Amino acid sequence: MPFIANTDKDREEMLKTIGVKSVDDLFADIPAAHRFPKLNLPKPLSEPEVLKEVEAMAAKNLTANNSAWFLGAGAYDHFIPAIVPQMAGRGEFLTAYTPYEPEVSQGTLQAIFEYESMAGELLGVEVMNASHYDVATALAEAVIMAHRVGPSRPRVLIPAALHPEYKAVLATYLAPISSLKVEEYEGEPGKAKLGDDVACLVMAYPEFTGEIRDIGAGSENAHKAGALAIVQADPMMCAILKSPGELGADIVVAEGQSLGNPMNYGGPFLGMMGTSEKLMRRMPGRIVGEAYDHEGRKGYVLTLSAREQHIRREKAVSNICSNEGLTMLQTCIYLAAMGRQGMQAAAELCWNKAHYAASLIGKLPGYAVQNKNFFEEFTVKTPVAAEKIATKLSRKGIVPGFPVSRYDKKRPDELIVCVTEMRSKDEIELLASSLKEAAK
């Protein structure tokens, strides 16, 4: 049998030691009527056969590797240095469990500590946790955290232009908390109408449309009302634009997929979350800190565990247990590999290429760029249905962006275009000429 070391002889010896005649005897507690059902599964494949099948399936996808790719909308095609998967894929990292035994988990623990340090710097927060499933769940947990900080404040304000997937996940997580009401605000967070009944003001940096709002004014607005400022940020953008922490955020969440993790059809991603020292004991998720042994040697441990489910059970701040450890490790290695210069250079490439693309598309007849300030993603009004353009061009191997109508049928003529450092000038010009062609 695949992946099993026991030989028939081993099994015989073990059964003898146990004192039973057959393996079936070990299952006597299982209700006899239901024991050993016939499972109608496909017949097993050998290793070369399964790889052939999987390769053939994977080849059916249109991907950023085999086309000109301008689709972002929550999953981004950024460069991943070769060292990232090479190091993260080492068996000692890959096949270890959560670092519950610190003496034999110092590798994982120190890597988490280094991630907390670098990610905290990038996002401008004092304390990071070791990850959530993705930014959508991180945001939902951040709102629940704000609710625990201000339980008598029933209102949660979110931007109308928050990513629709994040809105949906937030609604699912908040459904059981009947006292909380989610309201949407349009435009600048600094102008959202708040009061002393608001638990938190959520801001997107940038919005789903790519628009960058004044987060500083929004944070001030929140703080005046005694509410928490929660920012959902693009971490790549934070390499060159002001960090959410610098702009006054109390809790920052970000999608770490952009930082060293492939798009992988939407997962695994990396929910990054950080906050201030003041609020850290209310933050969910695992946190690693420095510790010393009796000889004074420095090491790292999981800390502030009194917040967590394995200690507090139903009184825990969250149910999270398994997280996205390996994608966090990829991001840790990525941040170190890119470093200060690499992060700034990559983000500047995104900025410049996206602005070049916007300038070309903005000149096309019938097209209009909607944004005032953006980083690598912007929204374009299209002369014909955006869905039509996207399908037509995708079939030619040019993926021009995200038609907003896929989430909102009432917005048929909006296309969100994303240009990362991976796109060449030639590809950008091909996009512009193809959009022009597609409008005819």
Neighbours of 166 (CB within 10 A): 24
- Which of 103, 183, 184, 408: binder of another protein (CB under 8 A)? 103
The answer to whether 93 and 108 are in contact (CB under 8 A) is: yes
The verdict on 294 binding another protein (CB under 8 A) reads yes
Phi, psi of 202 (to 5 degrees): -90, 135
The verdict on 21 binding another protein (CB under 8 A) reads no
**Using CB under 8 A, which of the segments 27-35, 151-159, 190-198, 225-233 binds another protein?**
27-35
Tell me the chain's radius of gyration from C-alpha atoms: 25
DSSP 245-279: TTTT-SEEEEEGGGTT---GGG-S--EEEEE-TTT
Region 370-399 residues binding another protein, contact defined as CB under 8 A:
373, 390-391, 394, 399
CA distance 335 to 115: 8
Smallest gap from residue 195 Cβ to another protein (A): 26
**Tokens representing 301?**
């441990």
CA distance 254 to 236: 10
SS3 string, 109-122, reads HHHHHHHHHHHHHH
232's enclosing H/E stretch is strand 228-233
Of residues 175 and 186, the one with the C-beta less far from another protein: 175
The verdict on 44 binding another protein (CB under 8 A) reads yes
Of residues 63 and 226, the one with the C-beta less far from another protein: 63
- Residues 303-332 vs another protein: string with x where CB under 8 A? xxxx-xxxxxxxxx-xxxxxxxxxxxx---
- Measure Cα distances from 430 to 235, 338, 426 in Å: 28, 29, 6
The verdict on 249 binding another protein (CB under 8 A) reads no
Enter the DSSP assignment of 41.
Answer: P
**Tokens representing 129?**
């946790």
The verdict on 152 binding another protein (CB under 8 A) reads no
Region 112-151 residues binding another protein, contact defined as CB under 8 A:
113-114, 116-118, 120-122, 126-128, 130-131, 133-137, 144
Residue 206, preceding peptide bond in cis (omega within 30° of 0): yes
CA atoms lying within 13 Å on the CB side of residue 144: 23
The verdict on 268 binding another protein (CB under 8 A) reads yes
The answer to whether 287 and 304 are in contact (CB under 8 A) is: yes
**Using CB under 8 A, which of the segments 23-31, 146-154, 182-190, 363-371 binds another protein?**
23-31
- Which of 142, 227, 229, 343: binder of another protein (CB under 8 A)? 343
- Which of 8, 21, 186, 297: binder of another protein (CB under 8 A)? 297
**Using CB under 8 A, which of the segments 40-48, 146-154, 227-235, 431-439 binds another protein?**
40-48
**Using CB under 8 A, which of the segments 48-56, 147-155, 188-196, 220-228 binds another protein?**
48-56
CA distance 139 to 254: 8
**Using CB under 8 A, which of the segments 145-153, 183-191, 192-200, 259-267 binds another protein?**
259-267
- Which of 8, 65, 181, 365: binder of another protein (CB under 8 A)? 65
Of residues 158 and 194, the one with the C-beta less far from another protein: 158
Smallest gap from residue 64 Cβ to another protein (A): 4
**Using CB under 8 A, which of the segments 188-196, 223-231, 334-342, 362-370 binds another protein?**
334-342
Of residues 190 and 342, the one with the C-beta less far from another protein: 342
CA atoms lying within 13 Å on the CB side of residue 98: 14
The verdict on 186 binding another protein (CB under 8 A) reads no
Smallest gap from residue 146 Cβ to another protein (A): 15
Per DSSP (E only), the strands in 315-399 are 368-369, 377-381, 398-399
